[in-house]
Structure 1
Amino acid sequence: MEAKMIVVKNTNELSPKELIDILKARVEVFVVEQNCPYQEVDADDYNDLHLCLIEDKKLKAYTRIINKGDHITFGRVLVVKNYRHNGLGEKIVAATIDEIKQRFPNQPIQIQAQAYLQKFYEGFGFKPISKVYLEDNIPHLDMRMTF
């Protein structure tokens, strides 16, 4: 059995298969599962970092990292449905935070978290900086981690 591997690539470094696997997983989770028709693939996808947890040549978890200039953000956090409830969500978020700290030292990290995940992100050191609001009809809140 192949060990879990974290792969980080800019969009233009992805192979066509890697890009399709990522976009397929994102649409499955954020459009189909969450029944949320929205522009899932957006302008940020042209020049962001894709962090993938791969095992047995299969994408199991994913995030994307975006440099916003005054802060770094990450989102599209997902674990592929068949691999949930195995701690991969914690692993992919921890790996994402580590990657951000390495590439963008001392930059604050600010995210738009789904409100039901507030405690999950607080466990990593994020603090809420907004009230809950609707984004694409899903309750979210802004959270920030500073160093």
Structure 2
Amino acid sequence: MWQIQTFSELDQIDLYQILALRTATFVVDQKRIYQEVDGQDLKAIHVFNRSPARQIAAYARVFLSDQGTKVTFGRVVTAPEFRGQGLGAKLMELVLTTIAQRFPGIPIEIEAQIQVVPFYEKYNFTKIGEPFIFQQTPHVRMGHLAL
């Protein structure tokens, strides 16, 4: 079941599972040591799929930049046991719909890990500038026109 919720709307179990999935993926699996819980969750809109067994299957968060001039999203992940089922595509559709509804007319800019650039290009994101290292991982900025 797909959910779109602010931080205050998340229940304890969903929040725990979201943080556990993100940490397992972006810290443990990718062997990156960094503060994964970074303070952005408090202002983010959380887009996720919960399986019938109440497991977080796919997740992303959407929020305005600190200056409020751009909208961004990140922590895009599908749990390993749910990959290959089209959840990533549905997640991106919901992320872009959420941005269009809640942040209309604001340009989108993300920082994508290099290996997922082709995924974002399918949704009309284009590279901005040169690759850079963020949290021990090569990234590139990508932009999209306002929705």
Q: Which TM-score applies when normalising by structure 2?
A: 0.93
Counterpart residue type for residue 86 of structure 1: Q
**Equivalent residue number for residue 59 of structure 1:** 56
Equivalences for residues 33-72 of structure 1 within 5 A? 33-56=29-52, 57-68=54-65, 69-72=68-71
Partner in structure 2 of residue 113 of structure 1: 112
SS at match of 1:129: strand
2:139 alignment counterpart: 140
The one of 7, 10, 14 aligned to 1:14: 10
Q: Percent identity?
A: 35
Which structure 1 residue ranges, 5 or more long, are not aligned? none
Alpha-carbon shift at residue 54 of structure 1 (Å): 1.8
Matched residues, number: 143
- The answer for unaligned runs of 5 or more in structure 2 is none
The one-letter code of the counterpart of 2:31 is: N
Matched with 1:128 is 127
Q: Does the residue aligned with 2:130 lie in a helix, a strand or coil?
A: coil
RMSD: 1.0
SS of 2:97's partner is helix
Aligned to 2:97: 98
TM-score scaled to structure 1, two decimals? 0.93
Local SS of the residue matching 1:21:
helix
